Amino acid sequence: MKSLFVVPAFAVLSATAALAAGSHSGGHGHDDASKGSHMAVGEAGKASEVTRTIEVEMLEAEDGKMIFKPDRLALKQGETVRFSIVNAGELEHEFVLDNKARNAEHKELMQKFPEMEHDDPNAVRLKPGESGEIIWTFTNGGGFEFACLVPGHYESGMHGELSVVEQPATN
Ligand SMILES: [Cu+2]
C-alpha cells in the first residue's frame, strides 16, 4: 500500500533537488559579491525584485550559425530581470552577461582552457535540452553583451546586444 505513495514523494523530492541546484548557483553570488558589484553590467539580483522575465533560446541554426533568440534586448537602468534560458540546440552552450571587452578577454581564456567552468552569477552553462536562469539587476546604463564563450561559438554568431537605457535618478 505505502509503496504507491513512495513514487510521487520521490518525484517531488527530485524536483526539489533540481530547484535547490538552481538556487545554488545563485548562492555563489554571495561568494562573488565583491566581484559582482564591480561589474559595469550590474549585479546579481533578488528574485523578489524581478519585474519581468525574458526568455532566451540558444541553438544552432540550419545555416550552421549558432544563435541566441532574441539577439537584441532593451532594458532600463534599475530593472531586475529574470533571464529564463533554454538550450534548444544539440551542443552545450552558455549565456554570459558582461560588457564586450570582458567577454572578449574571457573568450580568449576559454580558448586556452576549454574545460573552464563558470561559477559566476552572470553566467550559466547548459547542456542540450537543459534550462536555467539568471536574475540580474542592471545598475548602469550603457551597451552590454550576452555571449556564448565556448570556443568557436561566438564566431559562429552566438552573441547578442543588450542596451540599458539610463534612467534619471528621480522617484
Ligand atoms: Cu554556444
Q: Which fold has domain 3-165?
A: Immunoglobulin-like (2.60.40)
Q: In what order do the strands lie in the sheet with 93-98?
A: 72-76, 159-165, 142-147, 93-98, 123-126
The label of the residue with cell 544552432 reads 60
CA 128 distance to own-chain centroid: 15
**Domain parsing of the chain, residue ranges:** 3-165
Q: What are 58-109's pLDDT values in tens digits?
A: 999 989 999 999 999 999 999 999 999 999 999 999 999 999 999 999 999 9
CA distance 155 to 104: 11
CA distance 125 to 130: 9
pLDDT of residue 116: 77
Ligand 1 centre to CA of 100 (Å) is 16
Do you know the residue count of the chain?
171
How many percent of the chain have pLDDT more than 90? 69
Please count the CA atoms within 13 angstroms of the CA of 167 that sit on its side-chain side: 13
Ligand 1 centre to CA of 90 (Å) is 10
Ligand 1 centre to CA of 134 (Å) is 17
Those residues with Cβ within 8 angstroms of residue 88's Cβ, 6 or more apart along the chain or in another chain? 57, 58, 59, 129
Cα 91 to Cα 20, 40, 115, 126, 157, distances in angstroms: 25, 30, 14, 9, 14
**SS3 of residue 94 by DSSP:** strand
Question: Does residue 21 contact residue 50 with C-beta atoms inside 8 Å?
Answer: no
- Grid cell listed for 166: 539610463
Ligand 1 centre to CA of 156 (Å) is 9
pLDDT of residue 16: 38
Ligand 1 centre to CA of 150 (Å) is 5
Ligand 1 centre to CA of 54 (Å) is 19
Ligand 1 centre to CA of 58 (Å) is 7
Ligand 1 centre to CA of 8 (Å) is 36
Average pLDDT, the chain: 83
pLDDT of residue 36: 46
Ligand 1 centre to CA of 125 (Å) is 9
CA 50 distance to own-chain centroid: 15
Ligand 1 centre to CA of 41 (Å) is 21
